[in-house]
Structure 1
Amino acid sequence: MILVAVTFFGLMALGMPVGFVLGIAGLVGIYDMGGGRFLMMAPDRMFAGLDLFPFLAMPFFILAGEIMNKSGITSNLAKFADSLVGWLRGGMAHSNMVASVMFAGITGAATAEAAAFGTTLVPAMVKQGYSKSFACAVTAAGSIIGPTIPPSTLMVIYGSIMGVSIAGLFAAGILPGLLIGAICMTVIAAFGKRWNLPKSARRPSIKAIIVAFRDSFLALLLPLFILGSILGGFATPTEAAAIAVFYALVLGGLVYRTVKFGDLYEMLVRTIRITGVVFFIIASATVLGWWMTFNQIPQAIAAAFLRISEDPQVVIGLIIALLLFIGMFMDINATLIILAPVLGPLTEKIGMDPVHAGIVIVLALNISLMTPPVGACLFVLASVTKEKVESITRSLWPFILAEVAVLMLVAYWDHMTLAVPRLLGLVE
């Protein structure tokens, strides 16, 4: 066990990609258990980790997001959001957050949203007088709404490996995602005068709102197709993801005519790269996870938590603290795959509903996407805007604290979190 820990943290310190770190640490553990003959099981474990039908939804959702980005939907959604709330103090910051909620129902990837808004809304906010660091901070804070409101690739991963209803997780993510958007807008409104945020001279006319809604109407239908088909029981998440790709192709290629046939190659390559990285991390983490299970490490960690306290409220707090801390230093997909089998049984022991536990875990890891030093959304925004990560982080702290407050509400008020799944009959 010590050898595996030294290998894992040593390779992480050297900057090796996390997929290789997980795989090598797992191989070291397996070899230490039974020598070379045990290593023969590694390929089988890696394949078994990916041999789950719901995982097919991930590349479809990613591709749908790529197509929608290319079709210019991002700009239309931003214009509609601006027509609704752009007249408030800090109007474009509010618009950014509202657009994030709308965009969340189209693609479940925070980094895709950060990249899309980093190249469109951030320059527009800077032009209106916002500092670049604040514009990036607002975009980063809103980007995690993407993998919280369905569709969400993290929920697909968690539901697949833990045997939890993906439809239930999707339904449970709706209210927390909306709460994140609302509390971030509250932060913007509360500090608007103190930060001297710009304010529009006048409200838009009803006609301008109607025109903006008309231009974005077809894009706004996509989340309804995805959620309606899944929550209504008409399609699995994988089938709904395929429908989303088809709808996005029709919208971008035939309606808006902004997506050309030649663009498909580039979008497919990006989708393959993103999916390949995630799947490699999953496969490698499966090897390490199998070694951990064989050595009963999940049970040991659960017992250690329960030795600290058997009070469910305390255990939930410890789980959240662990996820937020590890998420600061490690890829969230890898963290989810390694810790879900550890924390899942622990949450069952303290009486948490599996869907409730899944949402708490996913939301905690989503917040890690914008926390230094390795928050993926921070680096995406720094890359596309040329702003320093340190400057973005300084402007981001009020939003991080606000979103952690939402996480606590979600964790400790299960009736609110499970209200939508119960209404739809997805949980008891």
Structure 2
Amino acid sequence: MVSMILFVLFGLFLLNVPIAFAIALTSFVFIMLADTPGTMFIQRVMAGANSFPLLAIPLFILAGSIMNHTSMANKLFGLANAIVGHIRGGLAQVNVLASVMMAGVSGSSIADAAATTKILVPQMVAKGYPKPFSVAVTAASATIGPIIPPSILFVVYGWLAGVSVGKMFIAGAIPGLIVGLYLMITVYILSKRYGYGLSDKMKFSLLNLWNSTKAASWSLFMPIVILGGILTGVFTTTEAAAVAAVYALVVGVVTRELKLEHVPSIMKETIMDTTVIMLIVAAASPFGWILALEQVPQMVLELFTSISSNVYITLFMLNIFFFILGLFMETMAVMIILVPVLMPLVTELGIDPLHFGVIIVINLLIGQLTPPLGMLMFATCSIAGVKIVDFQKAVWPFYIALFVALIVITYLPQLYMWLPDLVIK
């Protein structure tokens, strides 16, 4: 029966049926063939979407959308320029650091990539950076968005794996900075080799840094509010998302940058993005129930342990497995389907679920840069008007940087796993 389920699912994928509908149809076919009451399908769909932690998703999306309709992103770019604009590859370095800063605001790689592509890529091209290189930097650095808190993907993972979303947020902070560091090193090497950034290099100024920090203070305070409230126990992750949305709204009104005409666009973005995510969540719930009913988690455990019981080898295989899946499947769908299936293996091998969550997310985000379903690749190339072939030629050094960062994060968890237990008891 398991082979039939997979055959139907991937057959629908090949027919370009949207992911949520492909998963739902596969589940419905199984339930009908198994002579299970059709009401079970409806019950599982409703149960999948009816979760308090998942309320954080539309609220974080709303907060990010509000902030994207103000000048907060521009002010973060200005602060990033004041910090790293003097380093070789100035605007490209700013691009990476700005993604690190914006990650603490929206938690969405696509939102960060869209904002950065619209604002920074034209500036980089005007300063002599090749457009494919500029777009490649933007797309690669946008992978940082869902790693540094707040992160929509970590909210979903925490719900699936049964771990604290607050701890999951903290576990992603240092890995996000590691990814940013390797990308900045890559930018420096490429700029040195090809002479990028000679015309935009600026002198470091403490006065400029101070003024830029003051200008970006509203934006910088938002992640402090979110994480501070979670860490002190003042509110839950879901409540933190609501606070973030209210905070963004208040800032927009106080600074008089949020206009009434922005509201329809903000609501449309929030509803569309939330609908896409929640459709996948709801559709994957009965599918996950079916996999559990067919004892697929136990099969996966037996398969991996029969190959090797060594944790390092298993982590290597899982990295390859998730990267390949990230090439062909939507990130959220992969997580919702496979995290419950793989948790017995994680428990059996003694892998920390927080460590495992960080590894999964980074793997799947790298897949967003790669054909045939690389959402970051398509989004940035579409906005900037760059051909996919040219993008792929420019992005390969950043693949290397991301894979090196992934290896470090996978095999040296002691670099960052001390932080969640230190700040959240």
Band of TM-score, shorter chain = over 0.9
The SS at the match of 1:2 is: helix
Do the aligned residues in 1 keep the contact of 2:326 with 2:334 (CA within 8 Å)? yes
- The 1-side partners of 2:384 and 2:374 are apart by 16
Q: Deviations over 1:136-194 (max 9, x none)?
A: 11111111111000000111001112211101100100000001111100111122222
Do the aligned residues in 2 keep the contact of 1:104 with 1:147 (CA within 8 Å)? yes
Higher mean displacement: 130-139 or 188-197: 188-197
Report what 1:349 is aligned to. 348
Report what 2:145 is aligned to. 146
Do the aligned residues in 2 keep the contact of 1:90 with 1:197 (CA within 8 Å)? yes
Report what 1:103 is aligned to. 102
Report what 1:372 is aligned to. 371
Q: Deviations over 1:272-312 (max 9, x none)?
A: 11101100011111121111111011211121111111111
State the one-letter code of the partner of 1:8: L
Report what 1:188 is aligned to. 187
Q: Name the CA shift for 1:201/1:311 in 2 (closer, same or farther; >3 Å).
A: closer
- The 2-side partners of 1:38 and 1:396 are apart by 50
Shift of 1:219: 0.9
Do the aligned residues in 1 keep the contact of 2:231 with 2:424 (CA within 8 Å)? no
State the one-letter code of the partner of 1:211: N
Q: Deviations over 1:88-147 (max 9, x none)?
A: 221000001111111000011000001111110111111111111111111111111110
State the one-letter code of the partner of 2:140: A
Say what the alpha-carbon RMSD is for the aligned residues.
Answer: 1.3
- The 2-side partners of 1:185 and 1:202 are apart by 17
- The 2-side partners of 1:391 and 1:33 are apart by 49
Q: Deviations over 1:317-349 (max 9, x none)?
A: 111111000011100000000010111211111
Q: Name the CA shift for 1:194/1:228 in 2 (closer, same or farther; >3 Å).
A: same
Report what 2:3 is aligned to. 2
- The 2-side partners of 1:86 and 1:242 are apart by 34
Do the aligned residues in 1 keep the contact of 2:49 with 2:281 (CA within 8 Å)? yes
- The 2-side partners of 1:74 and 1:425 are apart by 30
Shift of 1:389: 2.1
Q: Deviations over 1:207-233 (max 9, x none)?
A: 222221211111111111111111222
Report what 1:249 is aligned to. 249
- The 2-side partners of 1:231 and 1:402 are apart by 32
Report what 1:120 is aligned to. 119
- The 1-side partners of 2:201 and 2:239 are apart by 46
Name structure 2 gaps, 5 residues minimum.
Answer: none
Report what 1:230 is aligned to. 230
Name structure 1 gaps, 5 residues minimum.
Answer: none
The SS at the match of 1:95 is: helix
Do the aligned residues in 1 keep the contact of 2:87 with 2:201 (CA within 8 Å)? no
The SS at the match of 1:108 is: coil
Residue 166 (structure 1) aligned with residue 165 (structure 2): yes
Report what 2:217 is aligned to. 217
- The 2-side partners of 1:380 and 1:202 are apart by 30
The SS at the match of 2:17 is: coil
Q: Deviations over 1:217-261 (max 9, x none)?
A: 111111111111112221111111111111111111222x12112
Do the aligned residues in 1 keep the contact of 2:88 with 2:201 (CA within 8 Å)? no
The SS at the match of 1:38 is: coil
TM-score, normalised via structure 2 length = 0.97
State the one-letter code of the partner of 2:213: F
The SS at the match of 2:194 is: coil
Please give the residue correspondences for 1:200-211 in structure 2 after superposition, counting only pairs within 5 Å: 200-211=200-211
Moved over 6 A (4+): none
Report what 2:24 is aligned to. 23
- The 2-side partners of 1:15 and 1:71 are apart by 37
Shift of 1:26: 1.3
The SS at the match of 1:226 is: helix
Do the aligned residues in 1 keep the contact of 2:85 with 2:202 (CA within 8 Å)? no
Do the aligned residues in 2 keep the contact of 1:382 with 1:388 (CA within 8 Å)? yes
Shift of 1:380: 0.9
State the one-letter code of the partner of 2:206: I
TM-score, normalised via structure 1 length = 0.96
State the one-letter code of the partner of 1:242: A
Shift of 1:204: 4.3
Paired residues, number: 423
The SS at the match of 1:207 is: helix
Higher mean displacement: 158-167 or 191-200: 191-200
State the one-letter code of the partner of 2:401: A
- The 1-side partners of 2:161 and 2:413 are apart by 19
- The 2-side partners of 1:359 and 1:235 are apart by 23
State, as a whole percentage, how many aligned pairs show the same letter: 37
